[in-house]
Amino acid sequence: MKQLLQELQFWRNYDGACSVTHMAGSAVEAGGDLRVWLQWRPPLDNVNALLSFIYTLLANDTRSALEAVGLDAYVGFLHRDRPGRASLALDLVEELRGVYADRFVLSLINRKIVDHKGFHRKENGAVIMDDDTRRKVLSVWQEKKQETIQHPFLQEKISWGLVPYAQALLLARHVRGDLDEYPPFLWK
């Protein structure tokens, strides 16, 4: 058991290091101070404010999907269980974060849907979006969720908004023994 816990901690640390490397590689500048550095509690720059907001939306969608298929969103594999933390939802977000959330945020910036004027710094240094920017982001997020893709495992066309549900359903089928292996969402 001790070895299993050590391996789990290794993978948690590895995941954190990969996240930093991924975001550093995705660094962009798009007017003003829109630069990427992984920091979202609280977000200290515009990009991390966007990432934090989108990760929250994705985590909520994923939590709802897990609960819809009968799984406990609060008992995870990778993320430590803590009271009030939807650890399994966060586990599922990990496989969707780069291809769904991060790409979405970068497209907001690159398409100039958001700019530095839509963000404000609070006294504690945290950066927040103004109401107009938040409305714009939510509108484009809803549009993104309607776009259809070919699911890599199911080989069916589904909307991006159904991807968390499809993955939750596949995970539930694996946990219940209907699938030998869980097919992660691998998108190119």
More confident call, 83 vs 168: 168
- The more confidently predicted of residues 83 and 89 is 89
Record the tokens describing residue 154, joined without a space.
């199911």
Distance in angstroms (rounded) separating the CA atoms of residues 183 and 188: 15
Q: Which residues lie below 8 Å from residue 79, measured CB to CB, with a gap of 6+?
A: 12, 85, 87, 88, 90, 91
Q: Is a pLDDT exceeding 70 seen at residue 26?
A: no
What percentage of the chain reaches a pLDDT higher than 90?
65
108-142 confidence digits (pLDDT tens): 999 999 999 999 999 999 999 999 999 999 999 99
What's residue 31's pLDDT? Answer: 43
- pLDDT confidence bin for 74, thresholds 50/70/90: confident
Question: Distance (Å, rounded) from C-alpha 49 to C-alpha 44?
Answer: 7
Task: Indicate the average pLDDT of the chain.
Answer: 84
Q: Across residues 137-148, what is the average pLDDT? A: 98
Residue 19 has a pLDDT of 52
- 3 state SS of 170: helix
- Beta strand 148-150 with 119-121 is unpaired
Model confidence, pTM: 0.79
Rounded Cα gap, residues 50 and 59, in angstroms: 14
Mean per-residue pLDDT, 149-155: 96
How does DSSP classify residue 118? G
pLDDT at 86: 79
Query: SS3 for 105?
Result: helix
Give residue-wise pLDDT tens across range 49-70: 999 999 999 999 999 999 999 9
Domains, in order of start, for the chain: 2-175 (1.20.120.920)
The predicted pLDDT at position 50 comes to 94
